[in-house]
Amino acid sequence: MNAKVTIEIVVGILIMSGTVMSLLSSLGIIRLPDVYNRAHASTKSATLGILCILLGAFLYFFYTHGVSSIRLLLGIVFVFLTAPVAGHLIIRSAHRSKVALADISVQDDLQDYLDSEKDVESSSTTS
């Protein structure tokens, strides 16, 4: 087994696993009950899937064409940095616009905090 075959196998594994992860995260978006749990699926597994696919593409072009595409690496860094922030912002705005949770266990924490903050605001405006 020469080096080229090894590289092709590694690239194949990377791209296949990335595709499977993306598929599973889209399944999670269909299957999970509410927006918060769907955000779990879409931020984590989809991020890792895209990372694997981009890494596979980078390795392929690096070894077969001798091109080290910095843009792919930058893409990995940007996806890595922005995906959790996007998930955070989406579920934060969902909670602010009072989207209900599915089967709630300890929902009270944030709602209590928001209510107490509102009380402070309203009392300060009236006084």
Partner 1 sequence: MALQILLNFIIAVVWMFLHNEWSFPRFTIGYVIGAAIMGLLSRIWPHDFYLKRAWAVIKLLILFTKELFVSSFVVMGLIIKPKLSIRPGIIALQTELKSDWEITVLSCLICLTPGTLTLDVSRDGRTLYIHAMDINDAELLSQQIKDSFEKAIMEVTR
Chain residues binding partner 1 by CB under 8 A are 21, 24-25, 27-28, 31-34, 36-37, 39-41, 43-45, 47-48, 51, 80-81, 84-85, 87-88, 91-92, 95, 101-111, 113, 117
Burial of 87 (0-12, 13-18, 19+ CB in 10 A): buried
For partner 1, give the closer residue by CB, 7 or 35: 35
CB 99, CB 43: distance < 8 Å: no
Instruction: Quote the crossing angle between the two packed helices 70-96 and 35-64, to the nearest 10°.
Output: 180
In what helix (H) or strand (E) does residue 65 lie, and over which residues does it extend?
Answer: none
For partner 1, give the closer residue by CB, 8 or 59: 59
Least distance (Å) between residue 122 CB and partner 1: 16
| Amino acid letter, residue 58 | F
CB 15, CB 52: distance < 8 Å: yes
Least distance (Å) between residue 28 CB and partner 1: 4
Cα–Cα distance, 38 to 36 (Å, whole number): 5
For partner 1, give the closer residue by CB, 2 or 123: 123
Least distance (Å) between residue 126 CB and partner 1: 20
For partner 1, give the closer residue by CB, 17 or 69: 17
